[in-house]
Structure 1
Amino acid sequence: MDGRPVLVCTESEDATADLVIAELNRRQVSVLRFDPGRDFPARATLTARITAGGWEGRLTVGERAADLSAVRSLYHRRPSPYPADSGEQVARFTAQENRRGLGGVLGALPGCLYLSHPQAIARAEYKPAQLAAAIRAGLTVPATLITNDPGEAKAFCAAQPTIYKPLHAGAYEVQGEPAGIWAAPVGEGEVDGGVSRCAHLFQARVSKVADVRAVVVGEEVFSALITSPPGVVDWRAEYRNLSYEPVVCPDALRGGLMRFLAGFGLNFGAFDFAVTDDGAWWFLECNPNGQWAWLEAAAGLPVANAIADLLENGASPHD
């Protein structure tokens, strides 16, 4: 590949990444797209040597190859995990070697801008760390309890209207069908001994009039006001009944978003806020690799263009 390529690590079907790649193609920026967990080592070959200037060598995927020392940026979208489902010892070993070998080299490229670095994304996915970082950044956070003590949970729910939300949005099935676990109201009488089986997150319910998703790309903030039917706690459960409009992020809040991302070393974040009738934005969570593509048309937010700008500018290999 000629020039300084952009690496895009994502699964084979990713409409969000497609928007960014299409914009980079329009700008005639070289792009190497691949899925580490699926393509390596079946379709991809890595040859990397350590030098005084960092890692040098080539990553070849099919008939295309990228000079590792010339990569200007890496867009870590949503790659498949390195397969380790098999209980066989060899399968587990190779999966870990691939993750630490290929993944380790890709995470240590000289002069490469990461959107964002995989290790930074992993750190920021922990909700307890997010909430603590949000408070340090000056954002307003609802009262929150994480516990496996049913008595503590009952007391918290008795003190104020409360919601329960999962600490991780992992795969879940109901009667064999994929299902989401949304944030939902929970009362004192609904708390039972099942709480003792794992950590649970309980949070004071914000009396909101709308929600906001604020997508931060580098130094730019794109915000959409999301209006859902009355009484809806988690707007993700009502996609067909939502309305969107662009909204300006308050200047005082913008600084908090930048401090939050800087604390984790992120160049991107999809923040969710609950908005009350007095105009206050209450921090709920930040997805360090969250979705935004549907907001391009729904709210007129040019996020793909901003991401392409960041990836195209990249970083000097001598920085």
Structure 2
Amino acid sequence: MVHSPVLVVTSLGDVTADLVLHELCGRGVPAVRLDPAADFPDTAHVSSRIGGVGLTGDLTTATRHLDLSSVRSVYWRRPTPYGDPRSAESSGQRFTVEQSRAGYTGVLLALPGVLHVNHPVRNRAADYKPVQLATAARLGLAVPETLITNSPVEARKFAAEHESVIYKPVHGVHLAGEDGRNRTVWTGRVHSSEIDDSIALCPHLFQSCVRKVADIRLAAVGDQVFATRIDTDGDHLDWRQDQRLITCSPVPFVPPDICEAVRSYLDAFGLVFGAFDFALDSDGRWWFLECNPNGQWAFVDQPTTKAITTALADTLQKGTTA
């Protein structure tokens, strides 16, 4: 295993992956960075064979060459998305995009006996908010009462039943504005009188608003958990909207029931890593909001960032879960 590399699949400029790469480098663990949609075919190429012993082959990037069968683990972060084949100018371009997505990704997913943090298929399965909320509730985590509906009648009824209700997209989305810049739909409060018939166009997620005193971002790496308290300057429901207003501080003690439920949650989805968001109320109760199976963590306080970096590097170096 001494010379077995860690393959880091991500885009250029991913500062979160950079921290882990730096840590691995400092330990003398070889690591190869790859961004399939950007690197192939200009600066990288792959050749793999599948036969009686499974998959073998070689991967070459602009700076490295590796035997695919020697890879010890894959840190699957945030590679550049492949283009949309529907927007391709020709049938040949559409074919290339589809074959690239299926071929390059398929080879990397078929590496024998390799730990993925996380496996992309597991990430996708764990990315559906209704499944997240239902799983969290089943595992004993406190979940705010939630309605997912495209019925204006039901949405207005739900909003009227609760003292305060918030709306959030069922799935995170970036929308291009008139200036070409991406816009995000943030979590916001909604009153029953604001809900019109446009609700019928697609599912919407409404939730009873937690009277929180702070937010908590918890990163789980295998059996280890690392929590950060996020305090926001002013009355801002969604701390992600302006991170200049937040203060992050380590949470020295995570309740045992939260630890147990978080570990069970990872097991339920077959994940090695998860970034959990909780709302903390005045009674000290942790309310589960969501889990991003590939969420960011490099923005939190420095001690916690360092601890997460170390845990991920340990896991990737071992090639087994932490």
- The two structures have a TM-score, normalised by structure 1, of 0.94
How far is the alpha carbon of 1:296 from its aligned partner? 4.6
The equivalent residue for 2:166 is 163
How far is the alpha carbon of 1:233 from its aligned partner? 1.1
The equivalent residue for 2:255 is 250
How far is the alpha carbon of 1:52 from its aligned partner? 3.2
Q: Are 1:215 and 1:292, in contact at CA under 8 Å, matched by a contact in 2?
A: yes
The equivalent residue for 1:260 is 265
Report matched runs for 1:89-238 at 5 Å: 89-160=91-162, 161-176=164-179, 177-238=181-242
Residue type matched to 1:202 in 2?
A: F
The equivalent residue for 1:19 is 19
* Structure 1 pair 49–191 and aligned structure 2 pair: CA distance change class (3 A): same
Q: Are 2:147 and 2:207, in contact at CA under 8 Å, matched by a contact in 1?
A: yes
Q: Are 1:246 and 1:301, in contact at CA under 8 Å, matched by a contact in 2?
A: no
Q: Report SS of the residue matched to 1:303.
A: helix
* Structure 1 pair 242–63 and aligned structure 2 pair: CA distance change class (3 A): closer
Unaligned runs of 5+ in 1: none
How far is the alpha carbon of 1:219 from its aligned partner? 1.4
The Cα RMSD (Å) is 1.7
Q: Are 1:246 and 1:300, in contact at CA under 8 Å, matched by a contact in 2?
A: no
Q: Report SS of the residue matched to 1:38.
A: helix
Query: How many Å separate the matches in 1 of 2:5 and 2:234?
Result: 48
The equivalent residue for 2:308 is 303
Q: Are 2:226 and 2:304, in contact at CA under 8 Å, matched by a contact in 1?
A: no
Residue type matched to 1:174 in 2?
A: G
Query: How many Å separate the matches in 2 of 1:163 and 1:262?
Result: 30
* Structure 1 pair 312–300 and aligned structure 2 pair: CA distance change class (3 A): closer
Unaligned runs of 5+ in 2: none
Aligned residues: 315
Q: Are 1:7 and 1:33, in contact at CA under 8 Å, matched by a contact in 2?
A: yes
Query: How many Å separate the matches in 2 of 1:230 and 1:262?
Result: 37
Of 281, 298, 304, which residue of structure 2 is paired with 1:293?
298
Q: Report SS of the residue matched to 1:28.
A: coil
Query: How many Å separate the matches in 2 of 1:225 and 1:173?
Result: 32
Q: Report SS of the residue matched to 1:154.
A: helix
Query: How many Å separate the matches in 1 of 2:165 and 2:146?
Result: 9
Once the two structures are superposed, what CA deviation does each residue of 1:203-241 show, in whole Å capped at 9, x if it has no partner? Answer: 110111111000011211000011113432111123112
Query: How many Å separate the matches in 1 of 2:305 and 2:48?
Result: 42
Query: How many Å separate the matches in 1 of 2:198 and 2:303?
Result: 40
Q: Are 1:295 and 1:301, in contact at CA under 8 Å, matched by a contact in 2?
A: no
Once the two structures are superposed, what CA deviation does each residue of 1:91-140 show, in whole Å capped at 9, x if it has no partner? Answer: 22222211211111111211211100010001111111111111222211
Query: How many Å separate the matches in 2 of 1:278 and 1:52?
Result: 60
Of the structure 1 ranges 131-140 and 203-212, higher mean CA displacement relative to structure 2 is found in: 131-140
Once the two structures are superposed, what CA deviation does each residue of 1:127-165 show, in whole Å capped at 9, x if it has no partner? Answer: 111111112222111111111111111001101111000
Of the structure 1 ranges 207-216 and 38-47, higher mean CA displacement relative to structure 2 is found in: 38-47
* Structure 1 pair 51–205 and aligned structure 2 pair: CA distance change class (3 A): same
Q: Report SS of the residue matched to 2:174.
A: coil
Q: Report SS of the residue matched to 1:168.
A: coil
The equivalent residue for 1:43 is 43
The share of aligned pairs that are identical, in percent, is 45
Query: How many Å separate the matches in 1 of 2:64 and 2:246?
Result: 42
